Structure 1
């Protein structure tokens, strides 16, 4: 499975839709996400909740708005969702994989599950292509997920590491939020607008083409090649607002054939709350 693309196309999903090992998950977000799922979702897809299944929310000052759950708790969640080591997991959301679909993909990869893909174009594209839809709740039989690991396997760094990176000319911090948030012009979610010192802005939306599909691996490689030519991958850190959308860019990087660099899960939501005084010049 090492050579499997992290992106699955609509027609590929149609071909494997009757595979008994296939597990499809709907991870759209928002205040009425579950209600919208119950009204309409891709056939045989199970709803996954970002806040309760893919995060353990506490104080945003300690880990940001969507800190990762404890590793062992996430392993239990996988079993409850019906995923085992043989499952072919396909994930979609209603934001072109830009939200929780990519986060769930990253988390599965980080527990060592390689047979996982994000549906290109997400819910809207599949619906426009007349993929079979269902309503109501759907679930798979619970199983027991066995991981050979005891902790997350993809690279992460934490706030103290990011502080050091802001003063390290050999390191680069990449902010994937839209430019208005990065530039401090607007901040719809967190307490203060702006960005981490010395961070560069590579908005995640640039991973997509004009109709909301991922650009080709070649185009993505061109987009990020300068970054990887100038910095060691171990010195590259991606972040966003709360460690969710950043995974969209990590997914794009994997799709383009790059090694997956560091993720700063706490992201701007953690950083801004801890650095508020210095940021405002107090």
Structure 2
């Protein structure tokens, strides 16, 4: 199944599909109330797709929720192992939509897609949004898997960044990567050895992913001959990196891993930090 689905696809309006609206940031719920896809369940990035960290130095600003908590949440949304899940946000998938897609894929749920272009794609198409709060019918908690797959810890990232046969991709803005500014974490800069590929490089001016062929060209230029399973992707806190992981999957490049703690963990651990001049 393609990781993306278009707003013109009739499956978006299938009553059996589970639609999840994942917003983040200030007034996320108010923005949901102001307009969302019909029958879309509201999900909060910070509360539903992450734990509240006691110390971001160990897990970052958006550590993954426990598997027990996550699968209980899926059950409360009415999601079963065979459910078709469609997720979106209002940031072209970069702030919650792709994160939920990745989390579901990581526990083995393959029947999940992200709305290409997010909420904007729906409004551009002239779809009438709903202001009703949709309450799902809960089902038995989703089976708890043994682990989240395709994640790496800080030690593996440190080793990979030094290796010639591995690639660590930092998808934050270039100004943050180069060390000029850091609006969210304590220190500006990047992991020594990591390469920068801003996540929005994969998007068209309309906020949709580029074609699979164009995406493949971008990512192959970045990883070269490195096996995709030896590629690690990170961002500030393990959210926007999922947008790039989705793009890689759409391009037919499967197997890259997520460093969940990302820069928010690395920059708090007294580890080496690189900038443009260092």
TM-score w.r.t. length of structure 2: 0.94
Q: Distance in 2 between matches of 1:148 and 1:38?
A: 31
Q: Distance in 2 between matches of 1:127 and 1:22?
A: 20
Asked if 1:87 is matched to 2:83, the reply is yes
Query: How many aligned residue pairs are there?
Result: 273
Asked if 1:181 is matched to 2:183, the reply is no
Q: Distance in 2 between matches of 1:245 and 1:279?
A: 21
**Cα displacement (A) at 1:228:** 4.3
Q: Distance in 2 between matches of 1:133 and 1:145?
A: 30
Aligned match of 1:233 in 207, 211, 228?
A: 228
**Cα displacement (A) at 1:272:** 0.2
Q: Distance in 1 between matches of 2:39 and 2:128?
A: 9
Q: Distance in 2 between matches of 1:136 and 1:207?
A: 33
Q: Distance in 2 between matches of 1:178 and 1:227?
A: 16
Residue in 2 aligned with 1:11? 8
Runs (4 or more) in structure 1 with deviation over 6 Å come to: none
Q: Deviations over 1:246-270 (max 9, x none)?
A: 0000000001111130110000000
**Cα displacement (A) at 1:148:** 7.0
Structure 1 residues 256 and 145, CA gap change in structure 2 (3 angstroms): farther
Contact 2:170 2:177 in 1 (8 A): yes
Contact 1:85 1:145 in 2 (8 A): no
Residue in 2 aligned with 1:101? 97
Residue in 1 aligned with 2:250? 255
Q: Secondary structure at the match of 2:59?
A: coil
Q: Distance in 1 between matches of 2:13 and 2:220?
A: 38
Q: Distance in 2 between matches of 1:46 and 1:117?
A: 15
Structure with bigger helix share is 1
Structure 1 residues 18 and 118, CA gap change in structure 2 (3 angstroms): closer
**Cα displacement (A) at 1:232:** 2.1
Q: Distance in 2 between matches of 1:17 and 1:202?
A: 31
Q: Distance in 2 between matches of 1:18 and 1:189?
A: 37
- Range that drifts further, 227-236 or 199-208: 227-236
**Cα displacement (A) at 1:32:** 0.4
Q: Which runs of 5+ in 1 are unaligned?
A: none
Contact 1:25 1:91 in 2 (8 A): yes
**Cα displacement (A) at 1:73:** 1.3
Residue in 1 aligned with 2:68? 72
Q: Secondary structure at the match of 2:108?
A: coil
Q: Deviations over 1:30-68 (max 9, x none)?
A: 120011111211111011011111001211111000000
Q: CA RMSD in A?
A: 1.5
**Cα displacement (A) at 1:210:** 1.5
Q: Which runs of 5+ in 2 are unaligned?
A: none
Residue in 2 aligned with 1:270? 265
Q: Distance in 1 between matches of 2:85 and 2:114?
A: 8
Q: Secondary structure at the match of 1:65?
A: coil
Q: Distance in 1 between matches of 2:22 and 2:142?
A: 23
Asked if 1:168 is matched to 2:166, the reply is no
**Cα displacement (A) at 1:86:** 2.3
Contact 1:39 1:136 in 2 (8 A): no
**Cα displacement (A) at 1:16:** 2.4
